[in-house]
Amino acid sequence: MFNGRYGIDELGRFMLIVAGILVVLRLFVNVHALSVAAVILLILVYSRAFSRYFDKRRAENMKFLEMKAKFTGGKHGGFSKPGGAGFGPKPKNDGKRVLICPYCKEKLRVPVGAGTIKINCPHCHRQFEETV
């Protein structure tokens, strides 16, 4: 269903959580604006998830993660660099690192210590650059 679409990222998850909190608050506080704000957030989440503009969505997510890092003291949620998409978990003992394609979210294994390399995703056939 999401083939060729951006999908949900850190910013999308955050907006879903905020929308849920607004819905719960609306149960206790009789303010109509909370419901309107929750619906607007949900529309934004789904429009971003079904978007085909990967570069714009990644740039929005990067800005969100940079702002999040300022509030959390520079921690990026387990990723090795800010940005989330395209950066996988830390390398294992086998000398390989798992990267995630920023376009189709497919997991790719590359050798550690190869420097900056251009990677052709075998799944979506797009090319991106990564430092390993």
pLDDT tens for residues 33-60? 999 999 999 999 999 988 888 888 899 9
Average pLDDT over residues 117-123: 87
pLDDT of residue 23: 93
Give domain limits for the chain. 1-75, 86-132
pLDDT of residue 42: 93
In this model, does residue 119 exceed pLDDT 70?
yes
Q: Which residue has the tokens 């995703």?
A: 121
Whole-angstrom CA distances from 60 to 38, 49, 86, 91, 118 are 20, 12, 14, 27, 23
Higher pLDDT, 8 or 84: 8
Q: Which positions ≥6 away from 19 have C-beta within 8 Å? A: 37, 38, 41, 42, 45
